[in-house]
Amino acid sequence: MEIIRARDYDHMSRQAANILSAQVILHPESVLGLATGSSPIGTYRQLIDWYKKGDVDFRRVRTVNLDEYVGLAADHEQSYAHFMRANFFDHVDIPAGNTHIPDGTNADAEHECARYDAVIRALGGVDLQLLGLGPNGHIGFNEPGDSFTKGTHKVLLAEATIRANKRFFKREEDVPRCAYTMGILDIMQAERVVMVVSGEGKADIVHRAFFGPVTPRVPASILQLHKNFTLVADEAALSKC
Ligand code: GLP
């Protein structure tokens, strides 16, 4: 595990964007695993800026997103499909057909999860997985539990996650209770994993995840065992380490 100490959110975002752009420049057909949340928005913004300057392009890149809320259609404002278009896809040259996100409208969970794992397999797995860190240590929507779940699965969101994500919805009742998420094995099989974390509010969980024992109670802690994991965090997020 490697830690890149950034000064602040913007510096963290540029450092992570540097790693992603190097990946795409060296391997234009890369499969990128992408994340949502406020943490990677600055990384996407920086990549868009470099794309507009002609420094990097995404024509041949393929993407698989980590997760999607069950019940939200791709055109719902709070769906992760919408988030990805608004914050990244609509601003670069990636063909829509190259982007993949679980289908939140498929009520048949077993079918949707098997379909998504088949998509990841058909792409040959993920070359670089970008991650954020949930306030309870979740990655994607892999919530704390008694064991790690390997493949794509349907999860009941933890109360802490619903509380943290309600800021994006009009009312807490509007936050979906379930999501489809890539599993821990899907994430651990990525060739390279990069996590962006910012702010004092994440300092405790960063310490527990990366300086404590590996445990499904803190799902991100498994990344300590990944062969090529880079944590890009700002000083505030690392203040308890
Ligand atoms: C959501 C996403 C996660 C993300 C987390 C943290 O729950 N499913 O992939 O890492 O939020 O979000 P933020 O970066 O806004 O703190």
Q: Which residues of 88-107 are buried (b: 16+ CB within 10 A; e: fewer)?
A: bbebbebeeebbbbbbbebe
The answer to whether 55 is a known catalytic residue is no
Pick the catalytic residue: 68, 112, 117, 136?
136
- pTM for the model stands at 0.97
- Overall number of domains in the chain: 1
Per residue in 73-94, pLDDT (tens digit) is 999 999 999 999 999 999 999 9
Which range marks the domain in which residue 191 is found?
Answer: 2-233
Say yes or no: CB of residue 130 within 6 Å of ligand 1. Answer: no
**Ligand 1 pocket check: which of 69, 79, 133 to mutate, most ligand atoms within 8 Å of Cβ?**
133
Residue 238 falls within a domain, yes or no? Answer: no
Work out the average pLDDT over 214-230.
Answer: 98
Residue 240 falls within a domain, yes or no? Answer: no
Q: Give me the percent of the chain exceeding a pLDDT of 70.
A: 100
The answer to whether 173 is a known catalytic residue is no
The answer to whether 136 is a known catalytic residue is yes
CATH of the domain at 111: 3.40.50.1360
Residue 155 falls within a domain, yes or no? Answer: yes
Q: Residue 72: its pLDDT value, please?
A: 96
Q: Residue 196: its pLDDT value, please?
A: 99
CA quadruple 156, 161, 163, 167: dihedral positive or negative?
Answer: negative
